[in-house]
Amino acid sequence: MAASTQVERGPCSAMRGAWRMLLLWACVCLWVPRQAHGALVISRSDAIIQETKGAIGTSSIKKRSINIAKMVEVYSVTVDCKVASRFAHTVMTSSALNKGSSSEEISFEVELPKTAFITNFSMEIESQIYVGEVKEKGKAKKQYEKAVSSGQTAGLVKASGRKMEKFSVSVNIAANSNVTFILTYEELLQRKLGQYEILTRVKPKQLVQNFQVVADIYEPQGIAFVDAYGTFLPNELLPLVEKTVTDTKAHISFSPTLDQQRKCLGCDSTLIDGNIIIKYDVNRANSLGDIQIVNGYFVHFFAPPDLPRIPKNVVFVIDRSGSMSGTKMRQTREALLAILKDLHQADYFALITFYDTIVTWKDSLTKATKKHVAEAMKYVRNIRDNGGTNINDAVLRAVNMLVKDRQDKKLPERNMDMIILLTDGMPNSGVSSLPRIQSNVRGAIDGNMSLFCLGFGNDVDYSFLDVMAKQNKGLARRIFEASDATIQLQGFYEEVASPLLSEVDLRYPDNAVDFVTTNHFSQLFNGSEIVVAGRLSDNDIDNFLVEVFANGAKGDFQVQDQASAVDWDMIYPEQEYIFGNFTERLWAYLTIQQLLEKSEIGTLEEKASATAKALDMSLQYSFVTPLTSMVVTKPETEDGPSSPLIADKLTEEQRQQAERYGFFDDIHVEDIHLTSFEADGDPHFMIELPDREDALCFNINDTPGTIFNLVKDLTSGLLVNGQIIGKKKLSPNCKVNTYFGRFGIIHLSLGVQLEVTTQDISVSQDGKQVKLLWSDTTSLKGPNMDLKLAMNCSLTVTLRDSIIFKVVLHTKVWKKHHYQQDYLGFYTLDSHLLSHAVHGLLGQFYHGVEFEVGHLHPGEVPEKPGATMYVKGQELNVTRHWQRDFKTDVKNGENVHCWFIHSNGTGLIDGSASDYIVSGLFNTESVKHLNGIAVGSQGSNGTV
């Protein structure tokens, strides 16, 4: 092996998730055990389990579930939403009565928008109220771990679809007792494409005596329009969604009677299963916007009407790597064709596609004339997928194109510069270090343009794109891999297609306000809205001057005016109380949200400061944020006290992982703090013999691309193959250094298949597939397989009743030659459950090997003496050697002394190394078995 200078690369640490504001969504239902279908199921879990164990058929279980359901009456389900100046406060309440003669477990389950903060949860049982408590996540985590260790499912919040989170909790209710669940959450509605939207998902799955959804909207600015409807209602029942609209208030209600809830005349099934959607906007007569001063806090809503759009210079940077093949590439082409049609003739545009190579349609931006757009559409129709993913060079090419065209005066001075990046995977060509790419892009852009990032599918590292966009005056958006991906892409473009103002600066009297949220914005797009809030430092607000400065399409934009306090009692005299000090809570919500964003993109000191402030405010205002958790203490049962349950705010990273690993029973994103590591060059095999406190090792040399069988157990159906890759640059002596770059693992009886590369991990189980990224940190539990992934470090896999192994990701860097090599190591941690017929380069040693060593003599190197080994009836010349073992210390590894067998392990392994070569990574055909396989009594572990 050639000696080279090596350094450690890439820390292993938990990645922060992205967090963005979307729409207000809600869903409420009440249910019990899993054995019956539907969102609302009432049954007794102990009875179901006993019947199942007694091998009673499905029809018996279903009948039993229905009978028990009749014992529990859900008599009330209400959703009460109050919106005061875009700030929404929603209370979901469900009540049930156990009419049976024994206790029943009843669960409360609701869906809420992923951008909302839970502020309160309580349960009232037999006049006893149990209230959730918001705590620092670190402290709550200890209680979570206690609950998990006791075998309970402690997490109350899970991802649900693209925009929702599901909150669920269950309690045991005594006979003839009531339970009432109350969940409260808050959020600031975001204006998109000229409207606000409130969506309430309702699916009670049974008739409810008191079913009511009510929304009251209070907008002193004046309500422009309100639209409300139920997606599940037939035409004749659409009037059930009632609305009353005055100048500044709207009241929407949906309160069907029992008969109106019925799916058919005389039946007990309900037609309520879908969404109640409310859309509205406010009047915008004032160019300064709407400023409200209430109870010592102010909020400024800025979206001036009738502004002309600013033409844009936009470069589309499109990933066309191999992973974009098929549907994703087709949907991208369709979306690009539609987007090109929507370009205005005053816009300038360019197209850059990338894989390993960067390809430009033209070398500079082109005016969006009909002729040029037609030519571009013809080009787009012929884009095909190919090769790797070189994000760094592609984005830098786009930046350089805009900079050069600006320098050459090819672009109108007032046009707004932007780059829209679409990618579906991790960078694996060119620069692959994510922090380095972010640094390169940030340095090149230098605040002179906006970068918008679209992450297509689940293989992309969304956190990487989100941070990179925020660092460059843009935003990121996930594009879900689904049939409507084309619509998603077009929808995002529509949001940013029409900039109205740039470099918007909102100013307030320095001596009158403090603790103001972000008041400088890079752009204002048509149909959106800027919101600024702050706390007053002076109660004398007679001289509250508000000024706005920005760049517009026709020149500088400037407006100013005096603001005054809003007397809500005068505007809404009939409403004694709407919901508390909403302006203060709106300010707190917005401040926390912006601090969380700053905690991702600043310096280490800025991140720490922003995190600390966000945590303090989250606790002060009882918001469940990514930094806090709500601890819910369940009442005691006959079995004794219950451990607390934990409600968390999911990060976008956790949501993405939940979507990737949907067929696992349990998903938990861990905070694992490790550092990366280095290792030796050529693939080496090591057989550890713990009972003898010794080890054997050997190398296998072959050409890059060769696939070896490492483990094969025909009895259990386990197969492990590994493919070697070559060193990127040849050594001066022309020796080809090889490494393991891919592993293929199959367990036929468990229905499990894994492909592990230096880029990602593909997992298949019972026909369902997901992909893990080495940038993830997560642990997954399934019925046949558990996985634990430490970011950029190692993957530990436990296959039920079979084997435990670890794959380690190595990164070796040669400073002198300015390049690095990623490769893999395979460590067997436990193989005792495999059959004695197991074989392969490693497998043949899993049940031990008998050998003796004698005739020690000095070697060519004093530290490496020679000896004679007696093994399998042969005498072999061996050398005392050492290898690095990373299975326990993935940072530094540890030196393990071993007897090195020369010539590709000849004499130690059965047959020759070529006998273990297979034609494919998942080739299940038998390798060549030879006579004379020696099986010893000593246990061993295999490493490669």
DSSP 40-57: -----HHHHHHHHHTT--
pLDDT of residue 54: 35
Residue 91's pLDDT is: 94
Q: What is the mean pLDDT of the chain?
A: 81
Q: Give yes or no for residue 31 having a pLDDT over 70.
A: no
Q: Which of 43-57, 349-363, 661-675 has the highest mean pLDDT?
A: 349-363
Summarised one tens digit per residue, pLDDT across range 191-217 is: 999 999 998 888 887 899 999 999 999
Cβ neighbour number for residue 63 with a 10 Å cutoff:
13
CA 702, CA 736: separation in Å to the nearest integer?
9
Band (820; pLDDT cuts 50, 70, 90): low
Query: What are the pLDDT digits (tens) for 129-164?
Result: 889 899 998 777 666 565 545 544 445 777 777 778
The one-letter amino acid at 426: M
For 395-444, what is each residue's pLDDT tens digit? 999 999 999 999 999 999 999 999 999 998 788 889 989 999 999 999 99
- pLDDT at residue 556 is higher than 50: yes
Structure confidence at residue 749 (pLDDT):
86
The three state secondary structure string of 56-99 is CCHHHHHHHHHHHHCCEEEEEEEEEEEEECCEEEEEEEEEEEEC
CA distance 780 to 661: 8
Residue 178, pLDDT > 80, answer: yes
Label the pairing between strands 366-367 and 894-901: unpaired
CB 520, CB 505: distance < 8 Å: yes
SS (H, E, C) 338-393: HHHHHCCCCCEEEEEEECCCEEECCCCCEECCHHHHHHHHHHHHCCCCCCCCCHHH
Report percent pLDDT > 90 for the chain. Answer: 39
**Mean pLDDT lowest among 243-252, 349-358, 370-379, 804-813:** 804-813
- Average pLDDT of 725-754? 79
- How far apart CA 518 and CA 550 sit, in angstroms, is 15
The H or E element containing residue 824 is: strand 819-830
d(CA 876, CA 127): 82
Amino acid sitting at position 147: A
Give the per-residue pLDDT at 199.
87
CA-CA distance, 704 to 706, in Å (whole number)?
6
The pLDDT of residue 36: 26
Query: Is the CB of residue 807 less than 8 Å from the CB of residue 829?
Result: no
What is the pLDDT confidence band of residue 246, given thresholds at 50, 70 and 90?
very high
DSSP secondary structure code for residue 289 in this structure = -
Q: State mean pLDDT over 370-389.
A: 93
Residue 790 near residue 798 (C-beta atoms within 8 A): no
